[in-house]
Amino acid sequence: MNFNYQLKLSRRRKTVAITVKRQGVVVHAPYGICHKWLNAWLETKQEWVEKKLAIVAKKRELGLEPLKSVNVYGESYKLIFDSESRFIDHMNKCIYLTAFSEGSKDSHIDELNQLFQVELTNYLQGRLPYFQTCMGSKYKVLKVRFYKRRWGSLSSKGVLAFNSALLGAPKWVIDYVIVHELAHYHVMAHNHAFWQIVARFYPEFEKAKNYLKNEMHHI
């Protein structure tokens, strides 16, 4: 055999099985099994195990391994899988997902996006009235969803949109994006007049811009 494995024996088990995970190969067998027979049986599974190990290695290389943690408001939150319901536990800095830990990364991201949309919407609804009032800006519709290439936008029709992944940033960075987008109510272009408005209501906007550029990535 050309692969290492961990042997787990059980008094209840009556058959032999192999599982291949990112942690390695595990062989499940009943107590009292003949090790000579087991080694011979494993020899016949050599090709199958090698294929499974190659798939696991490819997933790791492509970044398809299940997530273990994500940032919420700039702090690391541990992911807890196979929960009865999905929710964010701010007190213990955990996120509960209903997906299995060995499921695809896409299924984890789908659940996270749903949670992030709700959480970010609640935060925005609490902060937008303040910035609207002091900036004299208006919008008609608020949308929070996942975008690949932008953190926020304000359309000429009054649609104010934010990227759900923005929840990973500290609140002071989210506030900058709010100011940035509401400034477009007065000036749509990113010209000198626009940045003067941003600087007036968010003096440390350069610091927030650098954080988004250097520290943030989509989940």
Mean pLDDT confidence for 166-170: 97
What values do phi and psi take at 95, rounded to 5? -125, 125
pLDDT tops 80 at residue 167: yes
CB 31 within 8 A of CB 67: no
pLDDT > 50? residue 48? yes
| Separation between Cα atoms, residue 83 and residue 90, nearest integer Å | 16
- Above 60 in pLDDT, residue 86? yes
The pLDDT, as a whole number, for residue 63 is: 53
Q: Of 103, 102, 85, which is closest to residue 94 (Cα–Cα)?
A: 85
Burial class of residue 168 in the structure, from the number of CB atoms within 10 Å of its CB (0-12 exposed, 13-18 middle, 19+ buried): buried
Q: Average the pLDDT over 56-74 and give the result.
A: 73
What value does the mean pLDDT take over residues 152-171? 96
* CA 176 from centre of chain: 22
Over pLDDT 90: what percentage of the chain? Answer: 58
- pTM, 2 dp: 0.69
Average pLDDT over residues 64-87: 86
pLDDT at 161: 98
Helices (H) and strands (E) in the chain, counts: 6, 10
Q: What share of the chain is helix, strand, coil (3-state, %, to 5)?
A: 45, 20, 35
**Residue written as token pair 């209903």:** 98
Has residue 7 got a pLDDT over 80?
yes
Do β-strands 141-145 and 159-163 pair in parallel, antiparallel, or remain unpaired? parallel
**What are the structure tokens assigned to 148, written together?**
């690949």
Whether residue 219 is predicted with pLDDT greater than 60 in this model: the reply is no
